[in-house]
A and B are shown apart, each in its own frame.
Chain A
Amino acid sequence: MGLGLKTQIDPQEPRVIAAQGVVVHGSDRGTVRAFWYDTLQPNLRRIVTTAGAIMAPPTLGGLNAIATQSPAGGAMAGGIAAVVGAAGYGVHRAVQSFHRRGTELSITLRPELFTAMKANPAEKEYFQAMTGMDLDSLQVNPTTNLIEKIPGRIAVETTRNANTVRDEIRQGITALRSLYADIGLPLKSLESTPADVILRNTLTTTGFQQSEARWEKTIIDQFDANRSGVRDIWNNTADSPLFCVGPLGLAMPGATPDYDNLDTIGNLRRFRKAEQDVYVKKAVESIGVLMKGDPSRDGIGLESVKAIRSSIATKKDGQETNTAAGNRAKEARKKIEALDTTKTETAGKKTPLKVFATTQEAPKKIERTLREEFKLTIITDIPTTIDTEITRLKDELNTAYNGGDSLSKQHTEARRNWLDVYKTEFEDVSRRRAAALGTTTGSVDNADVKAIATERANLQHPEKDQLSKEIKDRDDRIQKLTELKDASQEAIKTQQETESATLENLPKELSETQKAYDDLVAPAGGAPTITPAELGSKTFDELVVLATNPPYSISNTTPEEKAELRKTILRAKSEHEARQIEIYDISPVVQVDVYNQIVNPAVGGGTLNANDLFTMSDAQLTNLLHNPPYRWSTDPAFTTSNLEALQHAQTEARKKLRIRYQTSLDVQIKDLDQQIEVQNKIVKSADETTENTKGIIELTDRLLNPTRQGEIFTKAVQIPDSIATFTDSVDIGATNNTYSEQERTVNAPRGYYETLNLLFNYQDTPNRGAEFQKLHKVFPPEQLAERMHNAFNLGLTAPFTMKDALDQINGHIAVTRNISYPQLYTGFRDMINQLANEVNAL
């Protein structure tokens, strides 16, 4: 309650004078309302005896004594009674002030009451003690009859110590609170007014919920005009000279009024009746308009209810698109479709590159064979390398070998020598064999003799076979090299035919990828925070974070800036990938050398780049190469070699551009994949939300059925009759067969099921278990507890359970009586209306 925890009215707080009273600012609505109700409109009018006297806290036995205790000054009671009597409008006017302004206390004083209080020292002091206002600084303007500050007069707000005033107020309030508790008054419910029941309804119309000032005026007018306003016990009205003086005919006009003669109870009843008249009249007007279906009048927001219910019905029917989540999913799916299209187009651009790549297989295989089998290094190109090798081999065969005669010549010599030996041995072996056999040499088995002669010739001249082998080896190599050359030329032809398709689409942005790469890994602004390796390993989003901070500080705010940064990062990534590929995709040495000579300033090049080599004609390039810094010879003898060199450089340029084009497409596709993944996550999350919200939409729609709602309200106010059941916080038990299996599985406090049943009447449905599951999914115990906590203002501290909520409700109904019939109705009403607003906002 805040009682005693802070000053109800801080005497040092600012005060202003309103037209008909004073406005005092308090610290919060509840405490200011409580202050007015407790202190300035005391139910026990003699609770403050004299101004400044501290009242002892009452005991039960002493309550009546306090109630009958006479004040030190009769006028004090009368003065307070005067406040109470007028009160009818004083209280409610002040109370109504709270609703919108919250922490103001507007104390309305009728001029005649003000005059009476000002004339009475005790009243004046009491008023000043309570509010700190000096009534002597105010007067009633004789023309306007309004209370105003006396011009030029400085208000002596209080001569009393502020802390003393504060303490007295606090003690007075404490005493009253203690009293109220002793007599069973629900302290919490004191903080709200009858009009709050209407004013706090968030679903019904603003037209019905008049502004606070209009309520006050309407009620006061009703009270004065139709209920005769304030009267005394002789039925004199406040404007009568006999008011509180005496009955007509017996009293002397002009005599001092005794406010003990106020018809307090009558005034209270009349005021209440006036208030009731206003509520009823307004209800009739609103209902009449609603029945006639005229929504234009007075902002009776039938439209707002129609809009909410229509919105809910629309969401129920087309949840995929009619909720925020549904729209998010729809947007994300659209983006995915667009990204997929871009991805397909991008992937399509790789086809010529893929085809070209397949044409490189054959030359690569040939290269490998030349390297591994023939131990050859490709200096210029494969055919040239092969030709050179064949020439060498042929030279060895036919010209010279190891500084001596050619292999052929050596072999011829060796063969001659071998033959000589063979011949000699053959004759010798034949003769000996014939002699051994006793025949002529012509009849000896030559095969045997040949074998022996061969063996002996081989022993003497082994070089013949060695040389034969050498010659055969070279012949085989020449044969194979010739085949490889043919295959190479065929592959080159195929490459050239497919290359044109790739060349068509080259973005010609080698310099742009190079620049983007250099900007990130070697920025001008300071030491880089992105390494080449990180260009490959970090995600796009991670690189954005780095790029938007020092030393780069690239702006990433507008859509254009975002698009530009994206391009930069993707190009840099592409350059990094390309360089990785080039580590393993080795070009012929002469190709690389000539290319570097032309483009790399460090080795004498610099004014031409790869794009130039690709786009300029041979003539343009040759002309430039004849000039500084290249100064290629213009001697016609070098024309052919220059052209060959240029062609090598151009080949290298095309290769570099092609690799970068490939990597840029790969990087783009990967980036598109990541963007698609992000959108897919949005879709998944949105779909999950939609799935979850389906339930709440459907159930809220049910609650907004007027028949269902009427039944809920009827049952709500019957809760006190079955409070033990409704607020039973003991779990039902897993084996309690009075509940369905689905209900038993949850095993929540009994009150949980009772509340759900009150709202949805599910226990009487044929599919009780399935129905319960649906309800439980949307309103699990903790969530329902939270809704009840908010609707009934239970005052629990999170985290709390359903059991806590039920116990608290039980306490408020059975013990403190803070929740009674009105609160039971408004609690369920507010729970339903809150759901309607939440679902409407989905």
Chain B
Amino acid sequence: MTLTTRSIIKILPFEEGFKTDLLDLFEQLDDDQKLVIQQILWDTYFAIYKGALEEKTQEAMVKAGEGKEKLDKEFYLRVEQEIEKEMQGVAVKQSESVDLGIARKAMELIIKEIRASKKKPRN
């Protein structure tokens, strides 16, 4: 999945409600707000990414100490690839959940309108 500001919002482990609000409202913010929020989002994403990378590296080193991981030239590359997959997996998982959230919300609105129209008296 291509990494964009919107996809980052979906990936980051925010509360669902917050995430939905942010996705809905982001484009309506003024440019200054968008600029700052955008950089905060990307900063947070990559801070978490780097932390995950370090954690995975340390874990792998510990496992290597236990003989459960191979220490060779590709060691770090494997760690990176694992993180990529995990973040992607999270991205997809989060994205699906958020997309559903938006869809659900939209659906709720439509249903509300339909119900409202049915209640109107007919002439």
Contact = CB atoms under 8 A, between A and B. Distances in A.
Interface of A: 43-46, 60, 63-64, 67-68, 179, 182-186, 192-195, 197-198, 201, 203-205, 208, 264-265, 268-269, 272, 275-276, 279-280, 283-284, 286-288, 290-291, 293, 300, 302, 305-306, 309, 704-706, 709-710, 713-714, 717-718, 817, 820-822, 825-826, 829
A44 B64 contact: yes
Nearest to A717: B3
Contact of B31 (A275, A287, A706): A706
Given A279-B48, A710-B38, A268 B74 contact: no
B5 interface: yes
B22 interface: yes
Given A709-B38, A710-B38, A276 B76 contact: no
B92 interface: no
Chain B at the A interface: SS class? helix
A709 B77 contact: no
Contacts of B34: 706
Contacts of A68: 65-67
Given A197-B50, A718-B2, A286 B40 contact: yes
B100 interface: no
A198 B58 contact: no
A309 B51 contact: no
Given A291-B22, A302-B33, A710 B76 contact: no
B4 A714 contact: yes
Contacts of B113: none
Contact of B57 (A185, A195, A822, A825): A185
B59 interface: yes
B76 A185 contact: yes
Contact of A204 (B40, B49, B77): B40
B22 A287 contact: yes
Given A63-B71, A186-B76, A197-B50, A269 B39 contact: no
A204 B36 contact: yes
B3 to A, nearest CB: 5
Contact of A287 (B2, B37, B55, B73): B37
Interface string B61-94: 1111111001111111100100000000000000
A301 to B, nearest CB: 8
B71 A817 contact: no
B47 interface: yes
Given A706-B38, A821-B46, A284 B18 contact: yes
30 contacts: A43-B58, A44-B65, A45-B62, A60-B72, A64-B67, A183-B73, A184-B77, A194-B54, A198-B47, A204-B36, A268-B58, A268-B62, A272-B55, A275-B51, A280-B12, A280-B44, A280-B48, A284-B14, A290-B36, A291-B29, A291-B37, A302-B33, A302-B36, A704-B35, A706-B35, A713-B38, A822-B49, A822-B50, A825-B46, A829-B43
B42 A43 contact: no
Contacts of A825: 42, 46
Contacts of A287: 22, 37, 40-41
Given A275-B51, A283-B40, A291-B21, 20 more contacts: A43-B57, A43-B61, A44-B65, A45-B65, A60-B73, A64-B64, A67-B65, A192-B50, A194-B48, A203-B39, A272-B52, A276-B51, A280-B12, A280-B48, A287-B37, A291-B22, A309-B31, A710-B5, A718-B3, A825-B46
B23 to A, nearest CB: 12
Contacts of A709: 35, 38-39
A309 B36 contact: no
Contacts of A710: 4-5, 38
Contacts of B114: none
Contacts of B77: 184, 817
Contact of A197 (B29, B43, B52, B61): B43
A713 B62 contact: no
Interface residues of B, number: 55
Contacts of B116: none
Contacts of A197: 43, 46-47, 50
B36 A305 contact: yes
Nearest to B8: A713
Given A265-B59, A269-B55, A302 B47 contact: no
Nearest to B65: A67
A212 to B, nearest CB: 15
A649 B64 CA distance: 113
A276 B32 contact: no
Contacts of B22: 287, 291
A754 B122 CA distance: 64
Given A290-B36, A291-B33, A705-B31, A713 B42 contact: yes
B4 A276 contact: no
A177 to B, nearest CB: 14
A718 B4 CA distance: 11
A649 B25 CA distance: 96
A184 B75 contact: yes
A265 B39 CA distance: 32
A276 B61 contact: no
B49 to A, nearest CB: 6
A752 B77 CA distance: 28
A79 B50 CA distance: 27
Given A183-B73, A184-B76, A276-B13, A205 B3 contact: no
Contact of A822 (B25, B46, B72): B46
A466 B15 CA distance: 136
A270 to B, nearest CB: 10
Contact of A817 (B39, B55, B65, B80): B80
B49 A821 contact: yes
A631 to B, nearest CB: 92
A447 B41 CA distance: 135
A186 B80 CA distance: 11
Nearest to A208: B40
A195 B34 CA distance: 22
Contact of A276 (B21, B48, B64): B48
Most buried by A among B5, B14, B39, B64: B39
A184 B74 contact: yes
Contact of B76 (A208, A272, A275, A817): A817
Nearest to A287: B37
Contacts of A717: 3
Nearest to A87: B58
Nearest to B36: A305
A135 B122 CA distance: 89
Contacts of A182: 71-73
Contact of A64 (B13, B43, B71): B71
A687 to B, nearest CB: 31
A67 to B, nearest CB: 5
Most buried by A among B29, B54, B63: B54
Contacts of A179: 71
A626 to B, nearest CB: 90
Contacts of A45: 62, 65
Given A44-B61, A46-B65, A265-B62, A201 B46 contact: no
Nearest to A180: B76
Nearest to A42: B61
A64 B75 CA distance: 13
